[in-house]
Structures are given as C-alpha cells and as structure tokens.
Amino acid sequence: MRQLDVAAMFVSLWLLASMAIDALTPKELTVYMIGAAIAPAIVILAVLYWKRVPRYDFAVAFATLWMTTWIVLEFITPKPLSLLVMVVAVAPLAVVGAVINLRRWRHSKPRSSSTRLSS
C-alpha cells in the first residue's frame, strides 16, 4: 500500500510542479518540455522517499536535483529565463547550505561540563 501512496503523491507533485513552472517561464517552454525535464528528478526523489532516506539527506538530494532540473530547463528553453526564475532555482540550495552550516556551527561550540569530576 505504501508504494501506491508514494506513487500517487509524487505523480501529483510532478503535475503540480509542471503547471507552476509553466506559469513562471516563457510561453516557448511548454508544459510537456517541463514535464519531461523534471520527471527524472521526481522519480529519484520518489525512490529516496520510498526507501525512507533520512530527512537531512533527502533535503540535500532535493536541492541538488532542483538545481539540476533548472539547469536542464535553461538549456532547452529558446529564450533566456528571467532573474526571478534563477532566484527560485538557487533558493533551495541556499537554504540547505545555511542549514548545514548552522548545524555544524551549533555542534562545534565547546560545551561546558555541568558535572565536576571528583579528585
């Protein structure tokens, strides 16, 4: 049953993403071109989700695949994409990078010991 749920969820996300990206991009880039460009990334994310990859690793994979998808869309579009579209493409990478650095910074702080050792 879980496989069917995951498949239905990611197919719905694929259709929604295709339509949303179609609204943001020039009219020369059709929903069919967008759907074909983002399909491999959606399939990879669906498999990672189905295999229950940890959230942190899933977020890194999502950000990487999102940026790769936008690079592919830039290659196949006849007109250059707008600056707003480029900001949308880079945003997940920036957020994931900030979270990684924040977690590393938090864990690198020296912790004070609240218990004393008896001598």
Residue range 64-75, pLDDT digits in tens: 999 999 889 989
Q: Is residue 86 within 8 Å of 39, Cβ to Cβ?
A: no
Give residue 106's pLDDT band: very low, low, confident or very high (50, 70, 90): confident
| Range of the structural domain that residue 78 is part of | 2-106
The answer, as to whether pTM is greater than 0.75, is yes
CA 38 centroid distance within chain: 11
The reply to whether 37 falls in a domain is yes
Q: What is the mean pLDDT of residues 99-119?
A: 73
> What's the pLDDT at 112?
60
The reply to whether 30 falls in a domain is yes
CA 19 centroid distance within chain: 17
The total of structural domains in the chain comes to: 1
The reply to whether 113 falls in a domain is no
The reply to whether 47 falls in a domain is yes
Residue 13 pLDDT > 90: yes
The reply to whether 116 falls in a domain is no
The reply to whether 117 falls in a domain is no
CA distance 16 to 53: 23
CA distance 9 to 43: 11
The reply to whether 114 falls in a domain is no
The reply to whether 70 falls in a domain is yes
What are the pLDDT digits (tens) for 14-51? Answer: 999 999 989 888 888 899 999 999 999 999 999 999 99
